[in-house]
Amino acid sequence: MTRRVNEPIWMRPESVPAGRPNERSRAEITAAAVAIADRDGLDAITMRRLASSLATGPASLYRYVANRDELIDLMVDAVAAEYELGGPSGDWLADLVAFAGQARTIMRRHPWVVPLVIGQPSIGPHSLDLIEHILAVLGDHPAPTGAKLQAFAMLNGVVALFVQNELAGERRRNGQTIAQWQAAQAAYLHHIAAQGRHPRLARAMTPDPAAVAATDDALDLLTARIMEGLLGGAAAATDRD
């Protein structure tokens, strides 16, 4: 048997019609992994835990996946399949903003993808569909393709940053409850503020009645401004009705 691990998982056939047949499938394993990560985060994805959640041994997983990173590639691509991609509406900016909105709900559903966005995951078929969709949306746009791809990367990243901010406080850190951790952090901040060498920080710590509320509009505005800035807002007037 040849062990073709040098090519990406997307090019390796999942099974061949010979020998003992698979008892599981990549999709099944991926779904189980996503379920674990949704509940307990990316660190909870260990080969042993995933295996036992599938009622098998850790070694068996390596028949489906060359290593843990490849498993995560599968997970990311599975999440990319959750987008609902319509055709271009004619208003590229609106389409990009709508895409960002979908990205937000998907990232909130799968918080573990947030840190993966900054990184170099192997691009799978569903991720390629996303790229194709963005290129279609920007079909009439005069920018070079490289700029469009970079804009797409930036769009994903900005949404990730936004969601990360939204979800701050829901993740846990090193066994400690996030509440404990935040309380300890706050104690330190007060300590620093009391020293008087950070006056503006100190003033920022008095609770502000007009606190910033993260509404859905906030992301829309943010992404619209950024994409306008990146892809030349002047070329397309974006006020509808």
Partner DNA sequence: GCAATTTGCGAACACCGATCGCAAAGTAGA
Partner DNA sequence: TCTACTTTGCGATCGGTGTTCGCAAATTGC
Task: Kindly indicate which of the ranges 26-34, 52-60, 92-100, 174-182 contains the residues binding a second copy, using the contact rule CB under 8 A.
Answer: 174-182
Q: Hey, CA dihedral for 68, 74, 75, 77, is it positive or negative?
A: positive
Which of the listed partners (a second copy, DNA, none) does 58 bind, with a CB threshold of 5 to 8 Å by partner kind? DNA
* 90 part of the interface to a second copy, by CB under 8 A: no
Stretch that binds a second copy, among 23-31, 74-82, 96-104, 125-133 (CB under 8 A): 125-133
In the block, residue with structure tokens 């499938």: 25
45 binds, among DNA, a second copy, none (CB under 5 to 8 A by kind): DNA
**CA distance linking residue 128 with residue 134, whole number of Å:** 10
Tell me if 9 sits within 8 A of 73, measured CB to CB. Answer: yes
Given DNA, a second copy, none, residue 27, with its beta carbon under 5 to 8 Å by kind, binds none
In this structure, the chain runs to a length of 241
3-state secondary structure of 176: strand
Nearer to a second copy, 17 or 119 (CB): 119
- Are 74 and 30 in contact by the 8 Å Cβ rule? The answer is yes
Q: Which is nearer to a second copy, 56 or 154 (CB)?
A: 154
The site string for DNA over 10-29 (x = CB under 7 A, - otherwise) reads -----xxxxxxxxxx-----
Does residue number 192 form part of the binding site for a second copy (CB under 8 A)? Answer: yes
Among residues 2 and 174, whose Cβ is nearest to a second copy? 174
What whole-number distance in Å separates Cα of residue 8 and Cα of residue 122? 7
Nearer to DNA, 58 or 157 (CB): 58
Contact 79, 110 (CB under 8 A): yes
